Copies of this chain bind each other. A is one copy, B any other.
Amino acid sequence: MDNQLKKYRQIIVQLLQKYADMPSISDPNSELEEQLILDTERDHYQILTIGWEKSHRVYYPILHIDIKKYKIWVQEDATDFNFVEQLESLGVPKSDIVLAFHPPYKRPDTNYATA
């Protein structure tokens, strides 16, 4: 199991770093910042847009992935690549993926893990 956990961590970090390295499509004059946040000890992985647009506060998760009990929880995915599809193409089975952006009562209707 520990090898699988290690593999899942590597896959998530690799995908998030790839996305964070892409040239941003946001306004170059924008004061918004895109933060890559990787906590490999507690298994929380994020890309966050944060800052100010004039007097408007922006705090927006682009991606938020957790690992809980050997399963990958996709909490948020606002990217233009389908994160779940990427996971599956790298060999992660549906039974190890939780679509946490759906409320718990909706998850049994998906082909993925419910928790």
Contacts and interface: CB of A to CB of B under 8 A. Distances in A.
B42 A36 contact: yes
Contacts of A39: 37-39
A103 to B, nearest CB: 4
A52 B101 CA distance: 9
Interface string A26-43: 000001000111110110
A63 B103 CA distance: 24
A76 B42 CA distance: 21
A93 interface: no
Nearest first, the 6 closest Cβ-Cβ pairs linking A and B are: A52-B103, A37-B44, A37-B39, A55-B103, A39-B39, A38-B39
